[in-house]
Chains A and B, each alone.
Chain A
Amino acid sequence: MHGLKAIFRKELADHFSSYRFIILFSLITMVSLIIAYMVGVNIRQGLEGVAKPKFIFLMLFTAQGVVFSLVQFVAFFGPLIGLVLGFDAINRERNEGTLAKLVSQPIYRDSVINGKFLAGVVTISVMMVSIVLLITGMGLIIVGVIPGMEELWRIFLYLIVSIVYVSFWLGISILFSILFRSIATSALASIALWIFFSFVVSIGANVIANAVVPDVKESDIEARVQHIKVQRAISLISPMVLYSDGTATVIDPTRKTTSIVLVGPMEKISQERFSGPLPLSQSILVVVPYIISLIAITAICFAVSYAVFMRQEIRSV
């Protein structure tokens, strides 16, 4: 614990006074408010003269706004928050010569990483919480619906998963800042990984699935299932997919499962007729594996960071 508090405090103060944070925060707030406004107006128009359906409040987060829904927005651009907060965490100190001085104080070396990570997590949490609160507030005003207790719990859960998700990206960028001496390189590597997971994996999954299960005919249901299974298995290596699948059942209770179900037309009709939302406890059950996976990959990332940083030579030049 030696030095953790001091480093945490200093890093937190740095984050909150940095232009980087202010720009990022205003950008994200702006986009979220626009999405919430569009969605809110749509919902209000849709609601006119109709009985209020269940979980209308959660639709603020899941319904499509201009291009994105808020959940999709966080899935795609949330990583950038984490990356921007951490990509120069260690190598900037190394380049400016402050690292040698820092590690020659009576502190554990891992306190440096932990302090920076924790400060980042708190910054991320403040951002996410304020965005969700803003949207909730706007929802109250525009839609005029008060969220129920269960909805609040779901929003809270969603917040937790989102913070874990963005913190994973923070961990990745801190790792890059340890691995690469140059700030430009670690920034580039972070962006490259983000592009890889957000675009390449989803396209690649489809390509590989086509190669593994070629020539799928419309009528061949077994082959189609196989195709989709392969595609999903591959796309699951992306934390982005983990996150969207993980949050989907929490924030969108009418979704029952994250895996595909093929049903016949009659079954589908009956299912729609009797479809009720999934209870909160069941939603949590579906989500837990995803959260654990996210935490696990963050932990791996940390283990590598520690191992590399402990062995690194710290020289002033």
Chain B
Amino acid sequence: MEDMKDQVVIETENLTKVYGPQAAVDHVSFSVMSGEVFGFLGPNGAGKTTTLLMLLGLTEPTSGKVRVLGIDPARDSIKVKGVIGYMPENMGFYGDMDAVQTLRYMAELNSLPRDVADARIEEALKTVGLADEAKKKLSAYSRGMRQRLGIAELLVKDPKVAFLDEPTLGLDPDATNRMIELIESLTQEKKMTIVLCSHFLNMVEKLCKRVGIMIKGKMVAQGPMDWLAQEKLGLGSEEYTLEELYMKYFQEA
């Protein structure tokens, strides 16, 4: 288990995606280690989602190298999609299905055997606290419930890596806290490696040890937060907030 700790799960080298005249992602290199929660920060339109799509094999990179668990997503996207759970921003659900049907569909798409799926679905619904609402149509779900169902989908799929794109967007404080707890349980109990995209810097600060800051398609900084703070602000780990750090980079770029 210990040597798993330092294994590289995601690795990119000079990853570039060009749309028309503009590079949406410009020579981005970063790596994510097994078991960590990597905070992926940056303003809207910085290229974070595009990078995630390339990691998933949903978009082909213009140039550069990507490896997820040693697999090239552009070559073998089916295999990569089998080991990554992706919770997109503004994730949609089929409104006329209930939670169990939704999770069962997810399990079928991942070719899980029926008995394994049923056991996982029951457990997942309990974990996210939706067991009582499991038979309700999703059109009647609140935003917080939908996001929790998204986490339940991850629990059913049980991938090695999870990409969470703005998981707390538009949630009330209570729902946000519940979401943070759930993400913590993903990494601690399920040992998932997590890439977390968010503007909610308090949460990132709480969950992540390492962050990457992406601005205008370029990765301007990456590393442990303490280290970045020391480097950039000349401050010890106690005297800064991630927000200050982020704004500093943002203003420089």
Contact = CB atoms under 8 A, between A and B. Distances in A.
- Listed residue (A96, A100, A315) with the most chain B CB atoms within 10 angstroms of its CB: A100
Nearest to A9: B108
Interface string B72-112: 00000011011010101111111110000000011011110
A309 to B, nearest CB: 12
- Listed residue (A93, A102, A104, A313) with the most chain B CB atoms within 10 angstroms of its CB: A104
- Listed residue (B91, B92, B111) with the most chain A CB atoms within 10 angstroms of its CB: B92
B58 interface: yes
Contacts of B145: none
A108 interface: yes
A314 interface: yes
Given A2-B78, A314-B58, A315-B53, A102 B109 contact: yes
Interface string A63-104: 000000000000000000000000000000100111111111
- Listed residue (B88, B93, B96) with the most chain A CB atoms within 10 angstroms of its CB: B88
A149 interface: no
Interface in A6-42: 6-7, 9-10, 14, 17
A98 B92 contact: yes
B214 interface: no
B26 interface: no
B59 interface: yes
A316 B88 contact: yes
A105 interface: yes
A315 B56 contact: no
A53 interface: no
B53 A105 contact: no
- Listed residue (B82, B109, B153) with the most chain A CB atoms within 10 angstroms of its CB: B109
Contacts of B94: 96, 98
Contact of B89 (A7, A96, A98, A316): A316
A106 interface: yes
A9 B59 CA distance: 28
B49 interface: yes
A17 B153 CA distance: 24
Interface in B211-250: none
Contacts of A6: 105, 108-109
Nearest to B150: A101
A174 B172 CA distance: 39
Interface residues of B, number: 29
Contacts of B78: 2, 106-108
A131 to B, nearest CB: 27
Secondary structure dominating the interface of B: mixed
Contacts of B36: none
Contacts of B157: 105
Contacts of A315: 49, 53
B165 interface: yes
Nearest to A5: B108
A3 interface: yes
A50 interface: no
B92 A104 contact: no
Contacts of B165: 316
Interface string A180-201: 0000000000000000000000
A98 B110 CA distance: 16
A3 B90 contact: no
A101 B86 contact: yes
A97 B86 contact: no
B58 A104 contact: yes
A9 B109 CA distance: 11
B110 A101 contact: no
A133 to B, nearest CB: 30
Contacts of B89: 316-317
Given A6-B109, A10-B105, A314-B58, A101 B88 contact: yes
A101 B58 contact: no
B91 A104 contact: no
30 contacts: A2-B78, A2-B111, A3-B108, A7-B109, A17-B96, A96-B92, A96-B93, A96-B95, A97-B88, A97-B91, A97-B92, A99-B92, A100-B86, A101-B92, A101-B153, A102-B109, A104-B56, A104-B84, A104-B86, A104-B88, A105-B157, A106-B81, A107-B78, A107-B81, A313-B59, A315-B53, A316-B90, A316-B91, A316-B165, A317-B89
Please name the 4 residue pairs, one residue from A and one from B, whose CB atoms are nearest each other, closest first.
A97-B92, A316-B88, A6-B108, A106-B82
Interface of A: 2-3, 5-7, 9-10, 14, 17, 93, 96-108, 313-317
Interface of B: 49, 53, 56, 58-59, 78-79, 81-82, 84, 86, 88-96, 105-106, 108-111, 153, 157, 165
Given A5-B108, A104-B88, A105-B109, 11 more contacts: A6-B105, A96-B92, A98-B92, A98-B93, A100-B88, A100-B92, A104-B56, A106-B109, A108-B78, A314-B53, A316-B88
